[in-house]
Amino acid sequence: MLFVFYHYVTVSNVYFHDHEKVSLVGASDENTQDIGHSRVTYAYNFWDNLNSRGPSLRFGTGHMYNNYYHKMGNCINLRKGAKALVENNVFSGSISKALYSVDGEGSAQASGNDFGSALNKINSTTLSMDYQYTLKDTTQVSSYVQSNAGAIL
């Protein structure tokens, strides 16, 4: 059996659109070897007209900042002990759940987000990142992300 551990993966400036299940980190509930290993950052992504997994994270640590979620069923799902720092994201359109834990075992430190009317229900934690980054104000996120995510020709 081959196990691949990943540290410090960044997904940025991607235009995710028109799909059912989008981004899953941690392949199964039994992959406990991911604990303390998977660290993923999502920044400046445009999540548009999607059903779920924006992203769904098991066991690991996530950092989601300055993303724009539009017309999405369920967005950030932290489960199986996953935790995340969720900052300055914008959720608009008919979104059911913005930040949640399907099994109640995930937690987040959420600040500066514009959840609109979307559900934000998750256990709270304290978390910081060990790298430098600059946050855009939520009033700038939608226009910036839509102008810069995806192929720009």
CA distance 99 to 119: 7
Q: Establish if 112 belongs to a structural domain.
A: yes
pLDDT for res 5: 55
Q: Establish if 79 belongs to a structural domain.
A: yes
Confidence check: pLDDT of 89 > 90? yes
Of 39, 53, 58, 79, which residue is the catalytic one? 53
| CATH number for the domain that contains residue 14 | 2.160.20.10
Neighbours of 11 (CB within 10 A): 17
- Residue 102's φ and ψ, nearest 5 degrees, are -60, -30
CA distance 70 to 146: 11
**Residue pLDDT, tens place only, 68-77:** 999 999 999 9
Q: Establish if 35 belongs to a structural domain.
A: no
pLDDT for res 3: 47
pLDDT for res 153: 60
pTM: 0.92
- 39 an active-site residue? no
Confidence check: pLDDT of 4 > 60? no
Neighbours of 107 (CB within 10 A): 18
